[in-house]
Amino acid sequence: MPYKTTYTPHNIKKYIGNLKNVHCKSLWERKMCIYLDENKSIIRWGYEVIKIPYLSPIDNKIHNYIPDFIIETADKEIIIVEIKPFKQTKDPSKRKRKKINECITYSINKAKWDTANIYCNSHGWKFQIITEKELF
């Protein structure tokens, strides 16, 4: 999945943020950019334009979580979206064979996602994790 590319939005009035800073970290993120840019039911969208402070369970310090996308739909719904491989959305500690680095990554991601849910709920927004299952 690692693949870095720059995406240039075509519908520039829809894009939130710096048009030259859409540096996708995967083909999945790029696919989402194209979808958001071309979809008529998406009024505005941005890539990595919002910061949400969260408490890391690893070092017990506050860090900034930068979700992949913020989207405003024609229904005036605001959705924060994170693109992740399906495997990374499941708790590895529940598997028979677990790797410590996967457990650490998952615990950090879980802290980010829990905080993002609280943040979004407090603003009347939605938080959504999208995997390859939804993208393809």
Question: Residue 34, SS3?
Answer: helix
DSSP annotation string for 45-114: EEES---EEEE-TTT--EEEE--SEEEEETT--EEEEEE--GGGGS-GGGSSS--HHHHHHHHHHHHHHH
pLDDT > 80? residue 21: yes
Share of residues in the chain with pLDDT > 90 (%) = 87
pLDDT > 80? residue 49: yes
Average pLDDT value for residue range 104-122: 97
Average pLDDT value for residue range 68-86: 97
| pLDDT reported for residue 95 | 83
Just list the catalytic residues.
29, 68, 84
| pLDDT reported for residue 9 | 96
pLDDT > 60? residue 2: no
Strand partners, 65: 52
Architecture of the domain spanning 2-135: 3-Layer(aba) Sandwich (3.40)
